[in-house]
Each structure stands twice: as structure tokens, then as C-alpha cells.
Amino acid sequence: MKPVVKDVNILGLANTIKDWLHARTGARFGLLTSIDGKQLVTLVLDPKASAAECWISEVSDNTYKTLTTLIPQSHWFERSIYDLFGIVPDQHPRLKHILLHDEYEPTFHPLNWQEMGKVGDKTDNRKKTPILSETLSQEKFVSTGAKREYKFLQVRGEGIYELPVGPIHAGVIEPGHFRFNCFGETILNLEIRLGYTHRGVEKRLTEIHWRKASFVAEAASTDTACANALAHAIAIESLFDLEIPAVAQALRTVALEIERLAMHIIDVGGLCGDIGFSAGAAAAGCLRGKALRMGQMLTGSRFMRGFILPGGVRKFAHQHIASMQKNMQDLRKELDELFELLAENQAARERAEKIGVISKSLAEEFGVVGVTARACGISYDCRQHFPHGLYPKIAPPIALQKGGDILARTRVRIAEIRRSTDVIESVLQSITGSEHIIKLSNDLPANQTGLAVVEAFRGELIHLLFTDGKGAIKRYAIKDPSFNNWTAISIAIRNNLIADFPLCNKSLALSYSGNDL
């Protein structure tokens, strides 16, 4: 997909965005970032028209007036721009570091071009991958002068206590820190501190040749490898004018749905585990294994790594289709059995109903996406609107619920598992032909913008890239669905019991590494 690129004045940017969103039903604020620290980049999406606009607003003196007061969902975006580029959003209500911890120099801003020059000389000793960007500017790097420290929000009063959890959690899960302020067993406030798994993925994507980049994009969060590889492929392909072979489109769709299936199953399984329904959790573990096995039949790898590449898919073996279909039938039967048991489980209902509620209005205000949004009645699924794989042509109907609680999220997940199996079965049936990849020229077109919006299993995933005058990628931005949704857990858990937190957390199924990049 190619966005319309425009220059927009930074003065009154928040109002310009608001007006644009107001004028179109269902329009969304996609992401906010910068290219090299000299400008803001705003991406706005109009799903109904399958359109996107990318606005470039020049920033002077490394600062601008915050958008967060008018557009609350930009709060984390502004914090990450502050960390990565050193641009200060003036009057931001809670400006704190989000990706870079105290271990980094306070003046270190890895994606700011002036700074990038320094880093490149110092630590980039990868042999065959020179930094592919235009001549770096010689201007002196401007520091924000702030000390890199982190202060948690304080809640005071008699009987109120603070409970720190993490970054290392009790289970086998990625790291992140939760700071609860509680009164008795009730949670008054939850602040989330992330950034522990920050690995510099976006910068690496500008250092490495684009042909190798899809493996890095996948590793942004390898549980979402397919969706990330697909988004990377589409963003690259959008720079060219090409027709991707039909077989490749079909196989990409199947891979994306297998990933959704496997991950939704494990999330339902985790829920079973948390309510003490061990037989369900064990069964879900096995069923996920069967979904992964299908992924392996298709791609050779359980996580389908390296399958989707710019231009098509890496391989295609007709003979595996029949065994995949057989596998799918068995899996569908076993899933039905499990869901039936779960539906009859009284404990599941009691633990999940009216717990961890997110209201539709707050979800809209904070731009919540994916299962969580659909569970509060927001009818947004990228498969309906933006081209990826065979979508939007064969997009399944949206699974909607109204409750906004754990139960609603589980129901959406189960409905989506069923619909994914439908999609996989029908697409597998219709595959004819064998051409599965076309060759792309080694050089990307210069000064272009590429975009992909994909419905990953967690929700809307955006990849946005800019090429420089020589066709090298000068900026690669990834917006993981969890970047929108982490705020949702703070909303959901407010005034709930601390004992309900693990279940609530699981029902939101958030990614740490996709957020931290």
C-alpha cells in the first residue's frame, strides 16, 4: 500500500489530526514517529476507503507542543520519540522514558541521525552490512539535557501500599515491570514500565540489506513472525509496481491464519490454566502443537520463519496440501470438544464475567486494537479493509462482543479460531498453480514511502518505511498492536482485585518484545 505523503504544519497538528479523523467514519490514528529527528511523521488511516495519509511536519529546536492532551492515544508514541530521537513533546502530561533505561547515556538517541553517525562508528562492526544512509549530517548533536531516570506515579493515603512485580515474572514469559498501587486487595492504579527487551530492531532494519531484513522484522516478536514478515514484504513490494502470484497470496493467507490459530489456542489454554482447568490447558498445549505442525508442513518451521519473503513465499510443495487438510479436519473436531467443555465450565464463567472491563469509549480514546477492541464492540479488523494476502476479498465476518470483559475477549478469540479454520480450509481447497515467488530488483526506488497494515493475531500491525536518495532504507518503523493495547490493561484492572490480574493479563495477550523492539 502506498500512502499519500503530505507536508503538514506542526502548529495545530493535533487539531488537524482531530479534524481529519472526524471527517471520516471509522478513521484511525495509525502512528506517530520521526524519520531522523528533524520532523514528526503522522500516519492516519481511513479503513473504509482502504486509504492512508502520511504527514511530515518539520520540528524546530527539537521540541513541539504535545498532542497527548488532545489525542490521548499518542501518549506512548511521544514518549518513544523522546527516547529514540530526543524530540521533546512540550507539556506532555507524563513524559517519561519508555524504551531506553538508565543504562543508556541521557543524551543517547539512537535514531537521531546526528547521533546515528556516532553510534555507527562506535559499535556497528557487522562485517558485510554497511550503514546504508545518506551522508550523515555534521551538525552538533543537541542534547535534551534531561537525566535518564524513571519515577513511578505515587498514590498516597492511609492503607495504600505499593506492590512491584517484575521485570522477571513468575511464569515463562517476557520481562516487564508492573507497579501496583493497592488498597486492601483492590488495585487503584497500575503503571507499566517496559523497554527491558529493547534490542534496537528498527535501527538494525536500516543497517542491513533489505533482502535480509525480513528475518530481523520477524524477530521483532517471533510469535508474530508471519504477520511481521508479511507486513515487511508488503511494505517493500509497495515501492514497486508488481503483481504477486496468486499462489503466494493464498499461502500467505494460510500462514497468517495458522499463526492466529496457534496463538489464540495457546491464549485460551493459558486462561484454562489460570482458572485451574488443567485438562483444558494440557489439551490446548497439544492442539497448538497440531496447528504448529500444519505450519511446519507448509513452511518447514513451526513458527513459519523465513517463509514469507518480498515477492512471494519461499517454497511451495503441493503434496503437503492433502495432509494439511486432513490435519485441519481433526484439529477442528478436537477444538470443538475443548470449547464445549470450556463453555460448560462454571468456574471459567465466574472468573471471567464482568472482570477486567474496558469500556468502548476508553478503548476508542486510546486506540485499542485487535481482540480487545472487538470485545468492547469496536468493529475494526484490518482484514476487512487493507490488502494483505487474499484480504480484503475473502475477509471473514468480524467477531464482535459487547461486554469488554475477560469473558467477551475469550468469546471473540474462540469465534476467531473457528473462522480461521474456515479460511484455512477454503483457501487450501482453492489453490491452483505453482508459481510462488517473483524476483524483485536488488535496488529499491529512491525517496519513496512504503506501508503495510496487517491484522496480526494481536491486532493492527503497521510497518512504515522511507527510502533515501540512493534507495536505501533510511527509516523503518514498526507499530506492534501491543503498543496501543498496553494502556488497556491499566484501564481494565483498575478497581479489580489483585488476584484477578494474571487472568486479566492473559486475556489481553500482550507482547513485550513487539512493544520494546
Partner 1 sequence: MLKILSYIFRNGIATVANPCPPLEEDADGMPALTENSCSGTGCNECATACPTDAIEVSNEDGVGRVSLDLGACIGCQLCIDICPTGTIVRNRSTRLAKKQRDDLILTNHESVLANSLKRSYEADVKNKIRNIFGRSLHVRVVSTGCSACDLEIGACGNPVFDLERFGVHIVASPRFADVLLVTGPVGKGMRDSLLRCYAAMPEPKIVVAAGSCSITGGVHKNGYAEANGVDKILPVSVYIPGCPPHPWSIIHGILLGMGKVQS
Cα distances (Å, whole numbers) of residue 189 to 175, 181, 373, 490, 509: 20, 5, 21, 7, 20
Min dist CB 215 to partner 1, Å, is 4
Report how many residues bind partner 1 under the rule CB under 8 A.
Answer: 71
222 in contact with ligand SF4 (CB under 6 A):
yes
Of 211 and 393, the one with the shorter C-beta distance to partner 1 is: 211
Nearest to 48 by CA among 378, 373, 385, 369: 385
Of 121 and 185, the one with the shorter C-beta distance to partner 1 is: 121
CA distance 209 to 133: 11
CA distance 331 to 323: 12
Looking at the DSSP bridge assignments, the partners of residue 453 are 462
Residues in 166-185 that interact with partner 1 by CB under 8 A: 167-168, 170-175
Residues in 356-385 that interact with partner 1 by CB under 8 A: none
One residue of 221, 253, 420, 421 binding partner 1 per CB under 8 A: 221
CA distance 36 to 334: 51
Q: What burial class does residue 172 get, using C-beta atoms within 10 Å of its C-beta: 0-12 exposed, 13-18 middle, 19+ buried? A: exposed
Binding mask 233-262 for partner 1 (x = CB under 8 A): ------------------------------
Output the DSSP codes for 63-82.
EEE-STTT-GGGHHHHHHHH
Q: Which one of ligand SF4, partner 1, none is in contact with 472 (Cβ closer than 5 to 8 A by kind)?
A: none
286 in contact with partner 1 (CB under 8 A):
yes
498 in contact with partner 1 (CB under 8 A):
no
Binding mask 88-127 for partner 1 (x = CB under 8 A): ------------xx-xx---x-x--------x---xxxxx
Of 403 and 514, the one with the shorter C-beta distance to partner 1 is: 514
Q: Which one of partner 1, ligand SF4, none is in contact with 208 (Cβ closer than 5 to 8 A by kind)?
A: partner 1
512 in contact with partner 1 (CB under 8 A):
yes
SS (H, E, C) 391-451: ECCCCCCCCCCCCCCHHHHHHHHHHHHHHHHHHHHHHHHHCCCCCCECCCCCCCCCCCEEE
188 in contact with ligand SF4 (CB under 6 A):
no
Q: φ, ψ for residue 327 (rounded to 5)?
A: -55, -40
481 in contact with partner 1 (CB under 8 A):
no
222 in contact with partner 1 (CB under 8 A):
yes
Min dist CB 209 to ligand SF4, Å, is 13
One residue of 1, 219, 437, 497 binding ligand SF4 per CB under 6 A: 219
Cα distances (Å, whole numbers) of residue 49 to 208, 382, 392: 34, 12, 12
Nearest to 3 by CA among 40, 56, 39: 56
Chain contacts with ligand SF4 (rule: CB under 6 A)? 219, 222
